[in-house]
């Protein structure tokens, strides 16, 4: 029987929902107010920050198809049509074709998982995602023997995605995993967050979540999954190979060229929460370290 995953996090670890929706603003506030290194005490500045961020429910996201500024997705993602939706599964599979979103939802077991989510700018959260194991979807399509990698693509529909009119990235947005990473029981396709369906700006109707990798591997609004025998191209690696590798594992020992990855700040741990040491593989070492045995992770970063 396939190995199933057991959750070790509990409800008390979850990032408060209002802080999740306001995370970008909270971080911008921290950086802007120069509070990055202060570790204790409540100031008037903090009280003000909290009032601003908790009142305002605007979401700040990265979803470059809707623009490169953090507020753009919340403004423009509403123009993306998410129904009907289908995912074209192809390449080295037994049953290639278009899989409708409803058809997928009927076939999959949807469960809630509390995962740590780590961003390359050194902040972390614990998020309740709803979704299903990617392995279950790949098995539905039937993975063939020669397959070694999985390539993903986001919807590319310029008339609904204002950001794609500019050549910021080589559209469509692309991501990839090695097959064993894709089949790991931790890897999910998320369809909901905080008990609600995914908002468009967070990648409706389904996005990838790989909890031991940086957030940018979580490709949003997926329309295409291809099983291949060659390592696929990935958007951030194509754009800036010196900074973003194919693997993008959370790894405190490998610094991003422009900043250290050794520590992080937990959103929801209090505005003045101490930085915590970043955990290898984002705390999922027991589950995934074996996937990288024998590899030099400073080269395969
Ligand atoms: N997926 C697509 N299609 N386009 C994007 O620009 N940005 C990535 C990732 N997935 C992105 C994407 C980056 S850089 C991050 S940090 C996460 O989405 C952010 O997810 P969130 O907005 O839900 O926090």
pLDDT digits (tens, 9 = 90+) for 41-78: 333 333 333 322 322 333 668 899 999 998 899 899 99
Q: State residue 107's pLDDT score.
A: 97
C-alpha 148/C-alpha 92 separation (Å) is 9
Q: How far is CA 4 from CA 135, 136, 157, 177, 186, in A?
A: 11, 11, 36, 20, 9
Q: Could you give the 3-state DSSP secondary structure of residue 223?
A: strand
62 lines ligand 1 (CB under 6 A): yes
Q: What is the DSSP string of 177-212?
A: EEHHHHHSTT-EEEEEETTEEPPGGGTSS-EEE-TT
**119: helix, strand or coil:** strand
Q: How far is the CA of 45 from the centre of ligand 1 (A)?
A: 30
Tell me if 15 CB under 6 Å of ligand 1: no
Please identify, by atom number, the ligand 1 atom nearest to the C-alpha of residue 236.
14
- Supply the residue whose CA is at minimum distance from atom 10 of ligand 1: 219
The torsion defined by the Cα of 29, 35, 40 and 46, in degrees rounded to 10, comes to: -40
- Ligand 1 pocket, mutate which of 61, 62, 115 (most atoms under 8 A from CB): 62
Å from CA of 61 to ligand 1 middle: 7
pTM of the prediction? 0.87
Q: Write out pLDDT tens, residues 136-168.
A: 999 999 999 999 999 999 999 999 999 999 999
Question: Does 65 sit in the ligand 1 pocket, CB within 6 Å?
Answer: yes
């Amino acid at each position: 029987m396939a190995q199933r995953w057991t959750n070790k996090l509990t409800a008390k670890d979850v990032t408060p929902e209002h802080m999740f929706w306001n995370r970008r603003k909270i971080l911008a506030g921290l950086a802007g107010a120069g509070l990055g290194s202060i570790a204790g005490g409540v100031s008037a500045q903090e009280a003000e920050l909290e009032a601003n961020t908790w009142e305002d429910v605007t979401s700040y996201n990265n979803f470059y198809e809707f623009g490169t500024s953090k507020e753009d997705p919340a403004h423009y993602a509403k123009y993306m049509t998410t129904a009907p939706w289908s995912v074209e599964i192809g390449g080295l599979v037994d049953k290639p074709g278009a899989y409708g979103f409803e058809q997928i939802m009927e076939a999959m077991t949807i469960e809630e998982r509390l995962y740590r989510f780590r961003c390359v700018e050194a902040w972390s959260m614990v998020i309740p995602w709803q979704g299903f194991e990617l392995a279950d979807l790949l098995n539905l399509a039937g993975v063939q023997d020669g397959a070694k990698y999985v390539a993903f693509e986001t919807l590319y529909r310029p008339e609904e995605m204002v950001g794609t009119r500019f050549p910021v990235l080589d559209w469509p947005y692309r991501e990839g995993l090695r097959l064993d990473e894709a089949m790991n029981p931790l890897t999910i396709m998320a369809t909901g967050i905080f008990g609600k369906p995914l908002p468009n700006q967070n990648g409706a109707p389904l996005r990838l979540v790989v909890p031991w990798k940086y957030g940018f591997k979580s490709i949003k609004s997926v329309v295409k999954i291809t099983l291949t025998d060659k390592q696929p191209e990935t958007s951030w690696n194509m754009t800036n190979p010196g900074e973003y590798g194919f693997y993008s594992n959370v790894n405190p020992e490998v610094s991003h060229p422009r900043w250290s990855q050794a520590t992080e700040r937990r959103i929801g741990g209090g505005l003045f929460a101490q930085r915590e040491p970043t955990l290898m593989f984002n705390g999922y070492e027991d589950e995934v370290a074996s996937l990288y045995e024998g590899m030099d992770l400073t080269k395969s970063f």
